[in-house]
A and B are shown apart, each in its own frame.
Chain A
Amino acid sequence: EPEVTQTPSHQVTQMGQEVILRCVPISNHLYFYWYRQILGQKVEFLVSFYNNEISEKSEIFDDQFSVERPDGSNFTLKIRSTKLEDSAMYFCASSVLQLEAFFGQGTRLTVV
Chain B
Amino acid sequence: AQSVTQPDIHITVSEGASLELRCNYSYGATPYLFWYVQSPGQGLQLLLKYFSGDTLVQGIKGFEAEFKRSQSSFNLRKPSVHWSDAAEYFCAVGARGNNAGNMLTFGGGTRLMVKP
Mark contacts of B26-45 with chain A using CB atoms, 8 A cut-off: 1 yes-contact digit, 0 otherwise.
00000010101000001111
What size tier do the contact residues of chain B reach?
A: 20 to 34
- In the complex, how many residues of chain A place their beta carbon closer than 8 angstroms to a beta carbon of chain B? 27
Which residue among B45, B98, B106, B107 has the maximum number of chain A CB atoms within 10 Å of its CB? Answer: B106
Known A42-B108, A42-B109, A56-B98; contact A102-B103, beta-carbon cutoff 8 A: no
Q: Interface residues of A: mostly helix, strand, loop or mixed? A: strand
0/1 string, A40-64, CB within 8 A of B gives 1: 0111110010100001100000000
Name A's B-contacting residues (CB within 8 A): 4, 30-31, 33, 35, 41-45, 48, 50, 55-56, 91, 93, 95, 97-106
Given contacts A43-B92, A97-B101, 4 further A-B contacts (CB under 8 A): A31-B101, A91-B43, A98-B102, A101-B102
